[in-house]
Amino acid sequence: MDKNLLIQLTVDFVKEKLRTDYSGHDWWHIWRVYNLACYIQKKEGGDLAIIQFAALMHDIADWKFNGGDETVGIGITEKWLLDNNCEVSIVKKVCAVINEISFKGAKTTSKLTSLESKIVQDADKLDAIGAIGIARTFAFGGVMERLIYDPSMRPIEHQTFQQYKNSKSTTINHFYEK
């Protein structure tokens, strides 16, 4: 299949899937990450198609909304791309990027194995700063039923991804933790 057509089909798919997301992981977040990633790719290089697909699909089924299951988003991404005749080699690379870029806690480190992973992660992180990033953090906190602030709850420097997944912190603490 023509990659440009598949990109457009993926845009339409993601728009539809995330049209009712109120957590800050909505279509407009994806669109900003996509555009930032494409901009960075022009300066830094990397495989544009992998970057485009990964930026579009990176939050399609975030583990935070799937009972902690980290495989749901990868599964949806893989199925979508394969069902639409994307090359298997591209699908594997896109899924690897998505798997690598997810935030896993304050003191945990993710090994990024490709330039494409670095670019999409940087684009995602850029959307997490400034006024929009602050607004997204509070939207996410509300959806997750987190308190905005509680002085008795201290920020946690998560040592493992599992610790981060299981923590129930405040929204303000997330700024310190991240």
Higher pLDDT, 38 or 101: 38
Q: Specify the pLDDT at position 37.
A: 98
Q: Residue 177 to residues 7, 107, 135, 155, 172: CA-CA distances in angstroms?
A: 34, 9, 17, 6, 9
pLDDT 10s digits, 82-119: 999 999 999 999 999 998 887 655 555 668 999 999 99
Q: Residue 129 to residues 78, 105, 116, 136: CA-CA distances in angstroms?
A: 29, 17, 21, 9
139-157: average pLDDT: 90
Amino acid at 128: A
DSSP notation for 19-88: TT--SS-SHHHHHHHHHHHHHHHHHH---HHHHHHHHHHTTTT-GGGTTT-TTHHHHHHHHHHHHTT--H
Residue 168's SS3 state is coil
pLDDT at 67 over 60: yes
With contact defined as beta carbons under 8 Å apart, do 118 and 112 qualify? yes
Residue 8 burial (10 A CB sphere; 0-12, 13-18, 19+):
exposed
Q: Which residues contact 121 (CB under 8 A, 6 or more apart)?
A: 100, 101, 110, 112
9-30: average pLDDT: 94
Q: Specify the pLDDT at position 165.
A: 67
CA 171, 172, 176 angle in degrees (round to 5)? 115
Helix orientation angle between 48-57 and 72-83, rounded to the nearest 10 degrees = 130
Distance of CA 37 to the CA centre of its chain: 12
Q: Considering the chain, what is the average pLDDT of its residues?
A: 90
Walk me through the domains of the chain, giving residue ranges and CATH numbers.
3-130 (1.10.3210.10)
